């Protein structure tokens, strides 16, 4: 992390002393703006950087380690001294601060067929990483079709032309996961942003292959 030029607090536009509730609110605003499903493929690199920053700062242990490496000089040289930044986030340049884990990214159906993922429960998917991938960490993106609330009728019109009265339709969703380095076996991760109207939020349990 010492070679990483990005300041995660500045990237998210927040102060170094921000609490977890405020951090989550700031993250949700940015995620709604920059998620590729909403902003388009051109926002992928920016969203990847934001996701890694939030994953680190929202984990107390990872945040403490980052703060130690960041040091007090970072705040004097450009970090925020109080309150969330009012300036809007602009897409950062250069390489994202974490590599993509391409082997475990892609279509959920393809990952199922390869044995890289499996549905453990209705709302929990297990994702199998190698020890090296778990130690390295990185970003994972998995595309799948998920049920979302019908905005046309909300399930109240039996003759609804969009959902047929079921109250839900299936929509393509890209789940982004920020896997922190040295992640533990059994860790449960939520995607960095949910699709609006999702009826069953999905979570991912990390499994490390022996």
Which of 8-12, 177-181, 196-200 is predicted least confidently? 196-200
Torsion of CA 45, 78, 19, 91, to 10 degrees: -20
CA distances from 131 to 97, 134, 155, 156, 183 (A): 20, 5, 45, 49, 10
For residues 50-63, average pLDDT: 79
Q: Which of 7-21, 73-87, 158-172 has the highest mean pLDDT?
A: 7-21
Q: What is the mean pLDDT of the chain?
A: 79
Q: What is the pLDDT of residue 199?
A: 84
Instruction: Give the pLDDT band (50/70/90) at residue 104.
Output: very high
Write phi, then psi, for 152 (nearest 5 degrees): -80, -40
Largest interatomic CA distance in the chain: 63
Lowest-pLDDT range of 85-89, 122-126, 195-199: 85-89
Question: Which residue would you say has higher pLDDT here, 169 or 95?
Answer: 169
Where do the structural domains in the chain lie, given as residue ranges?
A: 8-76, 102-208
Looking at residue 98, its pLDDT comes to 52
CB contact at 8 A, 189 and 138: no
Q: For residue 72, what pLDDT is reported?
A: 62
- Mean pLDDT for 5-16 is 85
Is pLDDT of 120 > 90?
A: yes
The pLDDT tens digits for 78-102 are 444 333 333 333 433 333 335 788 8
Confirm whether pTM is higher than 0.75: no
CATH top-level class of 8-76: mainly alpha
Number of CB atoms found within 10 A of residue 90's CB: 7
Look at residue 4 and tell me whether its pLDDT is greater than 50: no
Q: What is the band of 130 on the pLDDT scale with cuts at 50, 70, 90?
A: very high
More confident residue, 163 or 112: 112
Q: How far is 87 from 138, CA to CA, in rounded Å?
A: 28
pLDDT value at residue 74: 54
Mean pLDDT, to the nearest integer, of 66-70? 78
Lowest mean pLDDT among 47-51, 108-112, 168-172: 47-51
């Amino acid at each position: 992390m010492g070679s990483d030029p990005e300041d995660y607090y500045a990237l998210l536009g927040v102060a170094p002393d921000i609490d977890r509730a405020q951090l989550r609110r700031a993250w949700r605003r940015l995620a709604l703006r920059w998620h590729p499903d909403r902003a388009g493929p051109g926002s992928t690199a920016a969203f990847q950087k934001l996701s890694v920053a939030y994953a680190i700062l929202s984990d107390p242990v990872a945040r403490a380690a980052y703060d130690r490496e960041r040091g007090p000089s970072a705040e004097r040289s450009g970090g925020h001294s109080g309150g969330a930044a009012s300036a809007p986030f602009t897409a950062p340049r250069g390489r994202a601060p974490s590599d993509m884990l391409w082997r475990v990214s892609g279509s959920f159906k393809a990952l199922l067929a390869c044995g890289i993922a499996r549905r453990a429960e209705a709302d929990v998917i297990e994702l199998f990483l190698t020890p090296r991938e778990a130690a390295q960490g990185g970003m994972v993106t998995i595309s799948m079709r998920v049920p979302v609330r019908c905005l046309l009728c909300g399930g109240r019109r039996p003759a609804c032309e969009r959902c047929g009265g079921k109250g839900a339709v299936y929509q393509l969703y890209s789940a982004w996961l920020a896997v922190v380095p040295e992640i533990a076996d059994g860790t449960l991760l939520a995607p960095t942003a949910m699709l609006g109207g999702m009826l069953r939020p999905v979570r991912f349990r990390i499994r490390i292959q022996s």
